[in-house]
Amino acid sequence: MTQSEKLHPVLGIPFEKIPQHIAIIMDGNGRWAQAQGRPRLHGHAAGSTSVRRTIVDCADLDIKALTLYSFSTENWRRPKEEIDGLMQLYAKYLVEERPTIMSKNIRVRHVGLEDNLPDFVLKELHETIELSKNNTGMTFCLALNYSGRTELVTAFRKIAGRIVSGELTPDDINDQLISDNLDTAGLPDPDLLIRTSGEMRISNYLLWQIAYAEFYVTDIHWPEFDTKALHEAIIAFSQRNRRFGGLNK
């Protein structure tokens, strides 16, 4: 019996039906907190527990890559108090989770812009990335200060510069070249995109990479997204008929 024919001991589905790369839009922290009469920042703090649990769960399931949409370039429009609190949470999380990251053999990458991020966040982000750079397990991409459109513009500018310098010609531009110039270069495209809190939007997230991703939307707010919810999303993914533009077999 080959590995693809065996069932995963935890999920009960064939190994070949497990996504290689899961991307998650972590939505609903603020609404979860407000429903309890608590400030929005309380929801973000509670959401960090779901982040920790999801990263460990995915690593334990041997998922190749996990990308979490944490803070978009549009989120700078939020109240300063909320942003300041979020930045403190990011720095705290990056420090506190280093033992877990190392024990689980997780490699950390940043997806997004460093512009506007506070120095204390960049310091902890860089240190965590450097510490984990030789790890060989799951790659965890933190989408922090991220914009899908900006990522594409940056990639196109890099390619255009190489054309101007004579290194490339316009005929050299293809899907792979563009993928190689994105923040997620070297990783498989997400095959499962999960969005919590019931919203039916992409929200400028991994616009190039999710071309053929399967979408899974749950009404669960992010602070309540637990191991059971993750497993349900992966099992639902395993039941999809992925045709990639072709016909049913």
**Residue numbers annotated as active site:** 27, 75
What is the SS3 assignment for 248? coil
Can you tell me the distance from the alpha carbon of 112 to that of 121, in angstroms, rounded to the nearest whole number? Answer: 13
Return the residue matching tokens 């990263």.
55
Q: How many CB atoms lie within 10 A of CB 27?
A: 24
Helices (H), 112-220: 119-132, 148-164, 175-180
Nearest Cα residue to 13 out of 66, 65, 62? 62
Beta strands, E only, 164-204: 192-195
